[in-house]
Amino acid sequence: MTIDGTKLESLTNREFWEAALTGLETRRVHVALKIAELRQELAGAAPQKSPVPVKKTKRRFSAAARKRMSLSQKRRWRAIKAAAAEAA
């Protein structure tokens, strides 16, 4: 086994722990940089919405609106069927 190209057997106990400490300190720096990046993103992010979903009410149409929609749809279908009959 090697650490940075040096055989582990040739290291003394003190050198081994110094190498381990150096590696851990390097990792700590990388982790600190990632934490700083995340904090910066969170500071610029929009506030989170409430975790409880808002219940949406059902959209209801008046009788007159339903009648208009029905007549419009019937008119559209009539036009489609007339165009199909002319093509045939």
For residue range 26-42, what is the model confidence (pLDDT) as tens digits? 999 889 888 888 888 88
The predicted structure's pLDDT at residue 62: 94
Residue 68 located in a structural domain: no
pLDDT for position 40: 84
Residue 76 belongs to some domain of the structure: no
Nearby residues of 69 by Cβ (< 8 Å), 6 or more positions away: 61
| pTM (2 d.p.) | 0.37
* Structure confidence by residue, pLDDT tens digits, 38-52: 888 888 765 566 667
Q: Is the residue at 67 inside a domain? A: no
Q: Could you tell me the residue range of the domain that residue 15 belongs to?
A: 1-46
Q: Enumerate residues 6+ apart whose C-beta is below 8 A from 16.
A: 3, 8
Measure the CA–CA gap between 45 and 35, rounded to whole angstroms. 15
Whether residue 26 lies inside any domain: the answer is: yes
Overall domain count for the chain = 1
Q: Is residue 55 part of a domain?
A: no
- Alpha-carbon radius of gyration of the chain: 36
